[in-house]
Structures are given as C-alpha cells and as structure tokens.
Amino acid sequence: MPRPIKYVTADDLLSNCTIKDECFVWPRSSTPMPMLSPHAPMAREFGTTSVMRILFTICRYIPAGPRLVRWCNNPFCVNPYHHTESKFWRAQRAHLSDPNGLLPEQEQRRHLIAPPDDLLKRMRPIKPEHIRILLDSAAMAGFDAKGVVDKRSYAPPPKPKVRYAEPDQPVLIIKRREEPVLEEPVPDEPEFKFEMHSGDMPDNSGRELDSIFDLIEKRNAATRTQG
C-alpha cells in the first residue's frame, strides 16, 4: 500500500506549523530554512523545495525573482504576508494594473514556473483559523510588508550605561604591594669539640703536671737501677 501524501494543499503546510504572533513557524530541522524533501509531490509540482515560496505562490501570486525577503524576526516563519519580493521586482509590479499579476517575462514561461491556475485555486486555504490569520496579516502588512516591520516584536538590547568618574574621586587606585617578610635562617649548631688550652687550666695545674712528670722520672730511674 503506497504511503499517503502528507502535503497536498496550503492547509496541510500551515497545519504543520505552530502559530506565534501571526507567524506560521515551520518546525526547525537540520536545514537552514523551511524546506520540503525534493521527492515530495508539491516540491516537484512547484519546482522548488522552499515552503515559503510554495505558500507565497498559492496564497498571493507567482514571484518573479529567485528569492523572497522575510520582514518578520522569525527565521522559520512561512506566513506569505510576512514576505515580499525584492525591491527591484516590487518596482516592476508597480507599473502593472494588477500588482499580483504576471510580469511580461513571466507570461512567456507561465507553464514552467508554477502549476496551472485551477490547481492553485484548489490548493488555497479553507480552514477558518488559517484564513483569519492570513487576512489579519495581509491587512497589517500591506503589499510592501511595511506593517510587519512596524510590528516587529524584536527589541534591541539596551545600551550599557556609561559611568563617568566623579571630579573629586580618583579614577584608578593602585594599592602598594606589601614587601614579603623574609625569615632569618637559623644557623646550624656547631659540632661540639672539647679542647683544652693551658690558659683554660686552673692556676695550680702547672705544679700538678710538674709533680706528675717528677713521679714518672723517678719511676723510670728506679727501673734503670734495678736493671
């Protein structure tokens, strides 16, 4: 059984969107803009994968330029009344009795640039909710979408408040760096050595040494006599 076709009319495309501030927001995906698969029947019929261009063609007129200009601040909005052709093509249409009609260069290749008119009529929205939003958008936007620009919900961020220095206050205060306190190294204790000097001996030490030597000399002499 073949898979049912998901998108056949403008209502099918608009029903796939969420509505926010009269924007029909197409679901975000990995593509940089709202697009259909190149194998989708509507993409083959209109010769484009752009959802914006398909809805613009169905709901408004067949655009002549290669691109459409979005005037709202939602990058995935596909509301056809939030888009226009570029300024060059709008100036060309200003000379037509019907600004929504075909330009002379479009008439020669009409069969190549969009489905037949009877098929486009059958694709137009019929859901009351979609019709109401589109009518309100068309009344607000106008042909050049200047009304969309005036109603943008985007508000630029406030500029940062510049603070000026008071005349009696310093602009910059530099705090003096405190010098680090260096601890004095503790000297190693010297190795204790016992030394005796003659000057360190008591006053009678000289006489005691003399008597010792005398005893040694006497003992040596006695030993020699016995021998």
Give the tens place of pLDDT for each residue, 132-168: 999 999 999 988 888 888 766 445 556 667 666 667 7
Whole-prediction pTM: 0.65
Average pLDDT, the chain: 82
Would you say residue 227 has pLDDT above 60? no
In-domain check, residue 96: yes
Of the candidates 80, 77, 82, 18, the one whose C-alpha atom is nearest the C-alpha of residue 55 is 80
In-domain check, residue 188: no
Query: Higher pLDDT residue, 220 or 82?
Result: 82
What is the mean pLDDT of the segment spanning 60-79?
A: 94
Would you say residue 195 has pLDDT above 70? no
In-domain check, residue 38: yes
In-domain check, residue 156: no
Range of the domain at 75: 10-150
In-domain check, residue 158: no
Would you say residue 77 has pLDDT above 90? yes
Antiparallel, parallel or unpaired: β 23-25 and 18-20? antiparallel
23 touches 71 (CB < 8 A)? no
26 touches 32 (CB < 8 A)? no
| Cα-based distances in Å from 88 to 66, 78, 81 | 12, 22, 18
Helix (H, G, I), strand (E, B) or coil at 70: strand
In-domain check, residue 3: no
In-domain check, residue 43: yes
Query: Higher pLDDT residue, 45 or 211?
Result: 45
> Which stretches within the chain are classed as H helix?
10-15, 41-46, 51-59, 87-93, 104-107, 110-113, 117-122, 128-141, 146-150, 205-226
In-domain check, residue 223: no
Our count of domains for the chain comes to 1
